[in-house]
Chains A and B, each alone.
Chain A
Amino acid sequence: GAVVSQHPSWVICKSGTSVKIECRSLDFQATTMFWYRQFPKQSLMLMATSNEGSKATYEQGVEKDKFLINHASLTLSTLTVTSAHPEDSSFYICSARDDRANYGYTFGSGTRLTVV
């Protein structure tokens, strides 16, 4: 089945620094990937849709200059949290849809970001 690899699985960074999270589709090509954020005991909230070769589409209220998304190839999307602050501490999860499946969205294992 479809596999999405995400790393790092966890990262601790200082306030003001930037952190890059990678999301790779390992056995399929993904023209579209999705980035979610999840706070403790809450649901997954879609942040943006990453489109290969074009600009990402951000959900309302998500700062595109703070959360930079790059989808340079059909198997890789990156999310960079710029000038991170403690309130950005969260669980970030990527997802990709395998077009070979009728309805399959596959998720990465997530990245726990802690900003100190």
Chain B
Amino acid sequence: GQSLEQPSEVTAVEGAIVQINCTYQTSGFYGLSWYQQHDGGAPTFLSYNGLDGLEETGRFSSFLSRSDSYGYLLLQELQMKDSASYFCAAPTGGGNKLTFGTGTQLKVEL
């Protein structure tokens, strides 16, 4: 089956850097995406990795290692508004449907 595992919770202070890991097991690989979701809201797209390496988008970066079936989301210069749930996600079922990871709740403290 498909599985994407993440730590359940991460806490960091404002201004710090935090890394959220994702290890996956999927049949077929079509890339790894990251989404942010605030309480009661819809997931919003953050980043995508189709190939190994680092993708940078402002304060957010995402890394992928296909040989290790592993990726991470890096958030820099943390702000209070970054407190949210973060999900890795991968297309499965032949690349058509999106399966989400277990999710990580990030708490940013003063």
Residues of A within 8 A of B (CB): 32, 34, 36, 41-46, 49, 91, 93, 95, 102-110, 112
Please tell me the size bucket of the interface on B. 20 to 34
Residues of A near B89 (CB, < 8 A) are: 105
**Bound CA–CA A8/B48 (angstroms):** 30
| A-B residue pair count with CB separations less than 8 angstroms | 48
Spot the interface stretch: B10-18, B58-66, B73-81, B93-101.
B93-101
* Other-chain contact of B45, A42, A105, A108 (Cβ < 8 Å): A105
Asked if residues A110 and B87 are in contact (CB atoms below 8 Å), the reply is no
**Bound CA–CA A107/B37 (angstroms):** 11
CB distance from A36 to the nearest CB of B (A): 8
CB distance from B22 to the nearest CB of A (A): 12
**Bound CA–CA A46/B102 (angstroms):** 13
Residues of B near A106 (CB, < 8 A) are: 45
Residues of A near B50 (CB, < 8 A) are: 103
Asked if residues A44 and B87 are in contact (CB atoms below 8 Å), the reply is yes
Asked if residues A46 and B45 are in contact (CB atoms below 8 Å), the reply is no
Residues of A near B87 (CB, < 8 A) are: 43-44
**Bound CA–CA A6/B87 (angstroms):** 21
**Bound CA–CA A112/B41 (angstroms):** 10
Asked if residues A103 and B48 are in contact (CB atoms below 8 Å), the reply is yes
CB distance from B10 to the nearest CB of A (A): 14
Asked if B43 is an interface residue, CB under 8 A from chain A, the answer is: yes
Q: Could you show 18 A-B contacts with beta carbons less than 8 Å apart? A: A32-B96, A34-B98, A36-B100, A42-B103, A43-B101, A43-B102, A43-B103, A44-B87, A44-B100, A45-B100, A103-B91, A104-B45, A105-B33, A106-B45, A107-B42, A108-B42, A110-B40, A110-B41
